[in-house]
Amino acid sequence: MSALNEQKKQRPKFLDLTVIRLPLAGYASILHRVSGAGLFLMLPLLIWLLDLSLSSTPEHLALFESITRNILVKLVLLGLIWAFLHHFCMGLRILLIDVHVGVEKQQARSSAMAVMVVSLSLTLAFGLKLFGVY
């Protein structure tokens, strides 16, 4: 067993992410982690906004209005909308691959592209709503 471990340690490793050219699915996968981390870090903001939005105190509602009208908050929310949509779409892709749907190389490539396109398009659609375009 120690010989096996010895062998493992000597395997050549090349993990320089700035040089490696990943397939699209690789980037989508990294973004799954990034979006999840972002959602986790911003949970207090989201729970706080939920708290204010459901409050029966007029001051809380006024605070909710003024916070969500702030342009910087809107940009953060736009980022969170993308993070949620990417995490959601990529999560569906992972679940499908778990049940052996879309495992083939070409399908996996297409589904990674679909995740990027769908999540970015929906971010645009919700973003326009967020900024009051429609």
Q: Is 51 in the site for another protein (CB under 8 A)?
A: yes
Helix axes 71-98, 105-130, angle to 10 degrees: 160
Using rule CB under 8 A, residue 47 touches another protein: yes
Q: How many residues bind another protein (CB under 8 A)?
A: 21
Cα distances (Å, whole numbers) of residue 100 to 12, 96, 115, 132, 133? 30, 6, 17, 41, 41
Q: Is 1 in the site for another protein (CB under 8 A)?
A: yes
Q: Is 120 exposed, middle or buried (0-12, 13-18, 19+ CB in 10 A)?
A: middle
In whole angstroms, the minimum distance from the beta carbon of 107 to another protein comes to: 20
Pick out residues in 5-44 that bind another protein (CB under 8 A).
Answer: 33, 36-37, 39-40, 43-44
Nearest approach, Cβ of residue 4 and another protein (Å):
8
Among 7, 10, 18, 56, binds another protein (CB under 8 A): 56
Per-residue contact track with another protein, 92 to 111, x per CB under 8 A?
A: x--x--x-------------
